Amino acid sequence: MSAPHRILFVCHGNICRSTMAEFVMKDLVSRRGMADAFVIGSAATHDDEIGSPVHHGTRAVLEAQGIDCSGKPARRLRRADAEEWDLFVGMEEANMRDMRRQLGRAAEGRCFKLLEFADSARDVADPWYTGDFNVTYDDVLAGCAGLLAWLDSGAPRS
Q: Which residues belong to the active site?
A: 11, 17, 126
Cβ density class 108-125: b for 16+ within 10 Å, e for less? eebbbbbbbbbeeeebbb
Question: Pairing state of beta strands 38-44 and 87-90?
Answer: unpaired
Give the number of other CB atoms < 10 A from CB of residue 17: 33
CA distance 125 to 16: 10
